[in-house]
A = this chain, B = another copy of it.
Amino acid sequence: MTFRSLLLLAGSFSVTIALPSSAQFISQQPDGPQMSDETRACIDCHEAFQPGIVGDWKESRHAESSPALALERTVVERRVSSDSIPANLKNVVVGCYECHSQNAGSHKDNFDHFGYRINVVVTPNDCKTCHAVEANQYALGKKAHAVDNLEKNPVFHLLVEQTIGRLDVKKDKLAHSKPSASTENSTCFACHGTKVEVIGTKQLSTDQGDIEIPVLSNWPNHGVGRINPDGSRGACTACHPRHSFSIETARKPYTCAQCHLQPDVPAWDVYAESKHGNIMMSKESDYDWNAVPWIPGKHLRAPSCATCHNSLLTSNDNTVLVDRTHDFGARLWVRLFGLPYATAQPKSGATHTIKNKEGQPLPVTFGGEPAKSYLIDEKEQSTRRKTMTAVCRTCHGTDLVNNHFANLDTAVTESNKMTATTTALMSAAWKAKQADPSNPFDEYLEREWVESWLFYANSIRYAAAMSGPDYATFKYGWWELTKRIREMNEKKGKR
């Protein structure tokens, strides 16, 4: 039994281990690229202790190819975008050590692990060694700034505090406490990302003996805007989960559905009940989810999230129809969610830097006036709409696509007007001292108002954008919104 064959030798934080070679489990092609010696050492141990992740990796493209082989492909077929890749990495498979030893100098989480210098966390800056274009694109978008966009924006910061802070009854009064770090990490920041810092070292008791490891704050986390111990932002593993780093997984909507979910961001829910979702779920096993480039009609039928929002699409003869992007807002002109009013996309992914006319860090004022200088202009909006239209046109005629987006325009206009209505009712209540505007997110009525835009108006837009009619009618959307407005209106003066 492998566990038992460990020889644990004393030492402050080093343990010498003797394990039978697990080479028999490694399915490397004899004439393909091989593992580095360091990776083989990792595998030799971890295959016994963590067969799951080793198995994941062994089935991955990383385990069967090398950067040098990857670069032999034509540009549209290539999954590696860096021009120059260090010589020591080029001809071995992309194994444990290749990733976990990258840029050790900038990694505060680097530590000695049985004689090897290892980073606990692999970051976008490490992946960048081979995937530079993707890492650079990602860094521009809202996802990479998802932590600051919550924490440094006082409006959203307050919303977080009110949503997940503890409430106790003390002397017959309700007392609010700021959220614990643990709860923040299990809720909002699980998706947005946590700040992972090295805050010390500790002895860890394991079946292999005591080892000394860095203590990481707010870990584990794979949120899209994670702030890493090397100072970089993001987690490629949010969508390409370790240790298969699969393009298939990232392209399937189940991945996006971890965070983009009802009631606040119902992308998955709307997709699942759209015709696109219907076809994809019916034909899922007929797709080639791993092909690069991805050819509509050949590798896929109806699109998944990735098809429309970031994949490289070509025609049968490899003519590029739409370029790949890892800035997930790059094909979008209007920002649908998370805000009272939908408006143009921001110029910078760091949305917390926006200041509107009333001085709030929001792209529109309370009355609905956009902070234009922070938002993309009409020309850029038009360019992006054309890019997205090019995606649609791989299956649909131009007229149909135009009509579809005209419906979206109406949904944006009408849902914004409905938010103006609920906001007018909320303002009237504040004015009449039926609620206290000093904190706009704590009272019950204020929560009802937040739902009117964060859940309902938002859902109406999503359902129009991605054709989930039932969702916007009865699930969340129109039914709930018009009912809520009736309720707020009828309650006027009655509190």
Contacts and interface: CB of A to CB of B under 8 A. Distances in A.
A244 B244 CA distance: 33
A165 interface: yes
A183 B475 contact: no
B394 A50 contact: yes
Q: Is the interface of A mostly helix, strand, loop or mixed?
A: helix
A327 to B, nearest CB: 22
Contacts of A282: 246, 248-249, 252, 254-255
A241 interface: yes
A190 to B, nearest CB: 3
A117 interface: no
Interface string A156-185: 000000111111110010100000101101
A123 interface: no
Contact of A301 (B244, B404, B489): B244
A258 B319 contact: no
A373 interface: no
A54 interface: yes
Interface residues of A, number: 127
A71 to B, nearest CB: 24
A442 B59 CA distance: 56
Contact of A297 (B55, B286, B403): B55
A417 B176 CA distance: 12
B162 A52 contact: no
A452 to B, nearest CB: 11
A17 interface: no
Interface stretch (A129-137, A226-234, A261-269): A261-269
A382 interface: no
A5 B24 CA distance: 54
Contacts of A220: 396, 400, 403-404
B297 A486 contact: no
**What are the 5 closest A-B residue pairs judged by CB atoms, nearest first?**
A55-B297, A190-B469, A52-B395, A52-B296, A182-B410
A35 interface: no
